[in-house]
Homo-oligomer: A and B are copies of this chain.
């Protein structure tokens, strides 16, 4: 497989498919996959699947889109837009986006599903007049892709990852129990002019999603 046709990022089928395709027994396939995971040639990502690694132990963290990650992994992402409106910026949102408190900002809330199962609840705030936020488009693709299509060049982001207990509302949205642990991510994304173009507060079901990345020691 080291010299085979699998390109970085491509998703391995499941064991049954692979066994049938390669004419091998399922335990043999399982053992082969484990040995490639051990060697660092494959990586298992919860919620995504077993993937060929992009480049061995050399990949710094990148700004990625959950939608794109799921789609390229064949996880059939879907989005349900729950809220798409304009609201006055709270102090927190104003500080994150660098706009005046109480000024108009876009607010969108989306439920992200994979294979029809809720995976994450995504709340985003965007400065006004940045791009059209059409509900149908938001349900058809990812936010970053819409931003790029609107001519925005994403440059960098500041991210915080934490955990907390689900409120009753959050639990219902994500098909979890109230008080169940959720993985949380807050992110402010900047474009190439240094302007904040998006502030997101996202909640993920930890049984369906985790953050995985590689990092390098700087000498």
Could you tell me which A residues sit within 8 Å of B by CB distance?
34, 37-38, 40, 43, 46, 57-58, 60-63, 95, 98, 154-165, 179-183, 190, 194, 206, 209-218
Cα–Cα, bound, A18→B164 (Å): 31
Q: Report 9 cross-chain contacts, Cβ distance below 8 Å, ordered by A residue.
A: A57-B194, A58-B156, A60-B215, A63-B217, A157-B217, A162-B183, A163-B163, A164-B181, A164-B206
Contact residues in B for A190 (Cβ distance below 8 Å):
57
Contact yes or no, B163 A182, CB < 8 A = yes
Cα–Cα, bound, A8→B10 (Å): 40
How many chain copies does the complex carry? Answer: 2
Contact residues in B for A63 (Cβ distance below 8 Å):
215-217
Cα–Cα, bound, A58→B34 (Å): 37
Contact yes or no, A57 B214, CB < 8 A = no
